[in-house]
Amino acid sequence: MDQSADASGIDLAWLAGALSAKRAEIEAELDLMSRLTTDMNGGTHGRPGDGTSVTVERLTQVAAYDRVGLLLSDVIRAQVKITDGTVGYCDRCGEVIQPARLRTLPWATRCVTCPAAH
């Protein structure tokens, strides 16, 4: 059981699989969102500014889009960390990221004590 006593203590094959699955999921979601946004743009010929509720709705969508986009950048960053060998180490302080944290949050690029990047 102690043969995998690398710093991360985590199964990299599993982690890579979890990350690519999550990335595919996020990319599908972004794709869907961008299509919905495009529909809203081109679907009607109403004058811009006609409906504030539409504007609010759009802003909410953009915020959701941004949030998902940030998650995607985390996932991509985590994939890079597997490649460059820094997986399991905090991007900010260099401390070991707890394996339990990576198991629940495979795209975590920082340890629990460091604030999120965003």
**Is residue 7 near Zn ion by the rule CB under 5 A?**
no
**Most distant CA pair in the chain: distance in Å?**
66
The minimum distance between CB 60 and Zn ion, in angstroms, equals 32
Cβ 23 vs Cβ 76: under 8 Å: yes
Q: By CB under 5 A, is residue 93 in contact with Zn ion? A: yes
Binding of residue 90 to Zn ion (CB under 5 A): yes
Q: Given the complex with Zn ion, which of 72 and 89 has the nearer CB atom?
A: 89
Span from 8-16, 67-75, 90-98, 101-109 in contact with Zn ion (CB under 5 A): 90-98
Strand, helix or coil for residue 92: coil
DSSP classification of residue 49:
T
Could you say which of 77, 92, 101, 103 contacts Zn ion (CB under 5 A)?
92
Q: Applying CB under 5 A, which of residues 68, 82, 105, 114 lies at the interface with Zn ion?
A: 114
88 CB-contact burial (10 Å; exposed 0-12 / middle 13-18 / buried 19+): buried
**Per-residue CA distances from 44 to 17, 39, 48 (Å):** 42, 9, 10
Residues that bind Zn ion in the complex, under the rule CB under 5 A: 90, 92-93, 95, 111, 114
